[in-house]
């Protein structure tokens, strides 16, 4: 008889923990910050029971630093934060990009700037996720909208981090992080779990940034492999270089390993798009309102549809372009004064693009989206 899967009524932040543990995360380093603190709280209880390590660091800079170090020692690592902490982590995220260190960063978005509105939702960190750290660098950011989805997308975040040797961000807003929904806990083996590729060559022949590979194998410190790690531009052996050709090719490879694998990384939820004339592009809690609005408009005979990216970065350019070919208008509701809308406009030139914006700490309601859709019926 097949084993019955457990079903739990859990919070979004708790589902994040379940996803991380399922993916094999055994190290958490973080600093408490509303509205992500429950991730740290649950990790502090669960990790020791699984032989993992939990560290509450003195600040957010230390948090990103320790998860980079633990990852280099061979562990799957996680940290969770919100806007102000995400700002502080940017230099460490850039270091992880350059050193090609897999790790996962959760950002439960709230209002801002600065301390802003700690207990209210926001979606104004999406451009910070793309451009927060300086220089040209790879970016993968996932955007779940439902509690069960947070679990699954956290697993996927670890898989992408390990597969492409890069930090991966998971962005969801305070509403999704704190709401509770029924979650069916997946059985072992039910969801794919990917581990990093390790070198098979002798330690003396190992090159941590071997240009023969799009994504070089990654050895763990403490397993006989000694190699240099730096945030400077480096050669295949990890040591700094001033060679312009090596520098340029190294940076291009960092971006290429994401750009060349978009088909593996991108993921979208499409709802009623087949003949949609008015399309809503939304993420997180706003996408939940948008789905309700689209369904209500369909019942009134209005051809509305929803394009909801689960991967926001890389941006789903082709999906937007394809959708825009049939659309009279694209509506972009977001809990900011407008960030995603500029990417949508870039990918859909000539199509009327309308923003719905809210930054007062309240969610965008279905009625607001319905009103915007009806203007194009």
Extents of the domains making up the chain: 7-184, 267-374
DSSP string over 194-235: --PPPP-S-GGG--TT-TT-SS-----TTTT------SS-B-
DSSP secondary structure code for residue 86 in this structure: H
d(CA 84, CA 25): 24
Choices 3.40.50.970, 3.40.50.2020, 3.40.50.980, 2.40.30.170: CATH for 7-184? 3.40.50.970
pLDDT tens digit string along 327-338?
A: 999 999 999 999
The pTM of this model reads 0.96
Please report which confidence band the pLDDT of residue 3 belongs to, taking 50, 70 and 90 as the band edges: low
| pLDDT above 50: residue 377 | yes
State residue 189's pLDDT score.
Answer: 94
Average pLDDT over residues 54-70: 98
- Topology match between the domains 7-184 and 267-374: yes
Range 96-100 average pLDDT: 98
Whether 4 has a pLDDT exceeding 90, the answer reads no
Q: How many CA atoms within 13 Å lie on the side-chain side of 169?
A: 34
Average pLDDT over residues 229-241: 97
Above 50 in pLDDT, residue 312? yes
pLDDT (mean) for 284-310: 98
What percent of the chain has pLDDT above 90? 98
Mean pLDDT of 199-214: 95
Q: Which CATH architecture has domain 267-374?
A: 3-Layer(aba) Sandwich (3.40)
- At residue 1, the pLDDT reads 41
Q: Rounded distance, CA 87 to CA 89, Å? A: 5
Q: Is the pLDDT of residue 74 over 90?
A: yes
């Amino acid at each position: 008889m097949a084993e019955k899967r457990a079903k739990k009524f859990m919070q979004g932040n708790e589902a994040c923990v379940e996803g991380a543990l399922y993916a094999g995360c055994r190290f958490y380093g973080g600093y408490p910050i509303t509205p992500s603190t429950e991730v740290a709280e649950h990790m502090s209880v669960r990790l020791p029971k699984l032989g993992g390590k939990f560290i509450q660091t003195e600040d957010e800079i230390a948090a990103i630093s320790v998860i980079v170090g633990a990852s280099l020692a061979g562990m799957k690592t996680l940290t969770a934060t919100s806007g102000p902490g995400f700002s502080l982590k940017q230099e460490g995220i850039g270091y992880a990009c350059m050193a090609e260190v897999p790790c996962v960063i959760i950002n439960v978005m709230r209002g801002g700037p600065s301390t802003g509105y700690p207990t209210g939702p926001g979606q104004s960190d999406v451009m910070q996720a793309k451009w927060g750290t300086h220089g040209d660098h790879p970016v993968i950011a996932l955007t779940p909208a439902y509690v069960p989805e947070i679990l699954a997308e956290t697993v996927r975040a670890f898989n992408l981090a390990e597969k492409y040797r890069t930090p991966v961000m998971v962005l969801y807003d305070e509403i999704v992080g704190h709401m509770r929904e029924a979650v069916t806990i997946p059985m072992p083996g039910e969801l794919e779990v990917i581990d990093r590729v390790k070198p098979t060559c002798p330690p003396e022949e190992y090159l941590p940034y071997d240009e023969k590979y799009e994504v070089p194998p990654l050895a763990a410190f403490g397993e006989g492999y000694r190699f240099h790690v730096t945030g400077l531009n480096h050669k295949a052996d990890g040591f700094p270089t001033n060679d312009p050709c090596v520098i340029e090719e190294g940076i291009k490879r960092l971006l290429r390993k994401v750009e060349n694998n978009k088909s593996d990384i991108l993921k979208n939820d499409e709802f009623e798009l087949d003949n949609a004339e008015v399309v809503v592009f939304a993420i997180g809690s706003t996408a939940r309102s948008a789905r309700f609005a689209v369904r209500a408009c369909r019942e009134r005979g209005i051809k509305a549809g929803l394009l909801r990216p689960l991967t926001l970065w890389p941006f789903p350019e082709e999906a937007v372009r394809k959708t825009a070919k049939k659309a009279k208008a694209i509506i972009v509701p977001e809990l900011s004064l407008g960030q995603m809308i500029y990417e949508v406009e870039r990918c859909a030139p000539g199509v009327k693009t309308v923003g719905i914006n809210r930054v007062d700490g309240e969610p965008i309601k279905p009625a607001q989206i319905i009103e915007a859709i009806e203007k194009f019926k």
